Structure 1
Amino acid sequence: MTFWYNVRTGQVEPDETKSAGENLMGPYETREEAQRALETAKEKTEAWDEEDREYNEWGEGEKS
């Protein structure tokens, strides 16, 4: 079964009764993963931001 997180309602929705549209995050394999959707997205964004900072700092070392 697949689950979705509805950012408008804050509810986890199973695939067969999920809402339509842009308010959904997912799919997730478990209800627990869907419940952590916002936390997971925040963690991934922070990691990507750090990768960007490291990349930009590395590129700055190349300039003369």
Structure 2
Amino acid sequence: MEQETQFWFNTKTGQVETGPQALALDRIGPFASAQEAARAPEIIAERARAIAEEERLED
């Protein structure tokens, strides 16, 4: 059984890694592509905005 390659964003270096190379505290992922992993900070910001908006609407 072949395992798909996963990509991670290293928050310390700002680089995309193939497979989990850095400590868990320093990486975000996994992502299916290097392009997605490169957008990790942007994806996290989008998700945070969506959560904040949901919480605002619940009040």
**Matched-pair identity in %:** 36
For the residues of structure 1 that align with 2:36 and 2:6, how far apart are their CA atoms?
A: 10
Partner amino acid for 2:39?
Answer: R
Q: Which runs of 4+ in 1 moved over 4 A?
A: none
* Structure whose residues are more often helix by fraction: 1
Q: 1:50 aligns with which of 44, 49, 53?
A: 53
1:21 CA drift (Å): 2.6
In structure 1, stretches of 5+ residues that fail to align are: 57-64
**Is the aligned partner of 1:5 residue 2:9?**
yes
For the residues of structure 2 that align with 1:27 and 1:10, how far apart are their CA atoms?
A: 15
Q: Give the structure with higher Rg (CA).
A: 1
The alignment's C-alpha RMSD in Å is: 1.0
Number of corresponding residues: 55
For the residues of structure 1 that align with 2:52 and 2:38, how far apart are their CA atoms?
A: 23
User: TM-score scaled to structure 1, two decimals?
Assistant: 0.81
Q: 2:24 aligns with which of 21, 26, 31?
A: 21
For the residues of structure 2 that align with 1:50 and 1:31, how far apart are their CA atoms?
A: 29
**Is the aligned partner of 1:40 residue 2:43?**
yes
User: TM-score scaled to structure 2, two decimals?
Assistant: 0.88
